[in-house]
Amino acid sequence: MFIERDINSNKKVGSIEVIAGSMFSGKTEELIRRLRRAKFARQTAEIFKPQIDVRYSVEEVVSHDENSIRSTPVENSANILLLTGDVDIVGIDEAQFFDKGLVDVVVTLANMGIRVIIAGLDMDFKGKPFGPMPDLMAVADFVTKVHAICVHCGNIAQFSHRTSDKEQVVLLGEKDIYEPLCRSCYLKAHLK
C-alpha cells in the first residue's frame, strides 16, 4: 500500500486502494488514518467527497467517531480530475454516492502515478451492490473489507439495515435510520 517507484526510472507508480463495508464499520476512520499517516510522511494529498454528503460538515470528511480531515465537496466524479493538482495521494469518501464515471477517474489518477484511496459502502440497505463500488473493487490493487458489530447479536455485521420505511436508495442518515446487522439478523429483519 505504498507508492512504488519503477526501478528503471524515477517515475511514481500509482495504485488504487478500496476500503469497503457496511455503515459503522470504520471505513471513513480507516481512510482518515491512511491519509494522516501519508501527511506525516510529507506526502501531499487532496481529499474529495460527494457534494450531497453534508451530515457532519460541508467541507470535511468526518467519521462516526468525529475524527475529521479537510476535503473538497464535488458534484460529480469528473470534477475530481479537474481539481486534482500535483499530489501524491487522492482520497475519496462515500464513493457509493458518485456516478459510474468514478471508475475511469481513479484509473486515470493511478495511471498518472497517484495513490488513490477510496472508502464506501459496498451494499445498499437492500443488500445490493452500491453505485460504482463493485467496479472500483474490481480495478483496485488492494481491497480492505471492514465490518461493524451486529447491534442485535454481537456477531460480525456486513449489512446496513434501514430502520425507516423509506424506499429511495440514497437516504443520508445515521443511527436514527440505520443499524449494522449480521446476515442472520438482517434476514430475520426482512422476514417481518
Q: Is 4 a catalytic residue?
A: no
Cell numbers representing residue 173 in the block: 442518515
**Residue from 94, 167, 174, 179 carrying the catalytic annotation:** 94
Rounded-to-integer distance, Cα 175 and Cα 185, Å: 17
Rounded-to-integer distance, Cα 84 and Cα 75, Å: 14
Of all helices (H) and strands (E), which one includes residue 36?
helix 27-40
Cell numbers representing residue 114 in the block: 497517484
Of all helices (H) and strands (E), which one includes residue 121?
strand 115-121
Contacts of 120 (CB under 8 A, 6+ apart): 18, 19, 20, 27, 92, 93, 94, 95, 96, 97, 130, 131, 133, 136
For the annotated catalytic residues, the residue numbers are 94
